[in-house]
Amino acid sequence: MAAIVQAAQAQRWQEVLGVRVAAVISNRSDAKGLKWAQDHDLPIHVVDHKAFGSRALFDQALQQCADAYAPDLVVLAGFMRILTPEFVGHYAGKLINIHPSLLPAFTGLNTHQRALDAGCQFAGATVHQVTPELDHGAILAQAAVPILPGESAETLAKRVLTQEHLIYPQAIARFFAP
């Protein structure tokens, strides 16, 4: 999230593309990004998923919060919850996420260890449109990272994250480019 906000400011998205980061919404009050966003004068909101009796009720509250900003694009960054088909459908074509693998390989969790266990020579990250099927939307951007001899899942994750911070803002800017 911070990389996206910093890119938006450095590349003057509001002037050049007519878009801005409107708010940061989290389902966790302890999310590190909330403090960072607040320190950078962004509105923040917490919609705690634990306060709702079902995934559907949580998604309705999350949607209501996001809709207050009339978003042209909803960007998931560090959001680790599966969204209902209704939520995804509401934002169809304007809901994106980043996944720490070279999709379509290694959907879901534990992607770095799974790439190592499979003997892959490369890992990476993918920015994709969100669809009701987990990690299967259209690919908007990818970055590959070579897997080094003796690499651990932790070191690979750190190296992939540096690429995520580059390609996610690039994919967003391309989404809005004339």
Active site members: 99
Q: Which amino acid is at 25?
A: I
Structure tokens, 137: 């939307």
| Strand-pair category, 24-26 with 74-75 | unpaired
d(CA 154, CA 160): 10
What's the alpha-carbon Rg for the chain, to the nearest Å? 17
CB distance 67 to 127 below 8 Å: no
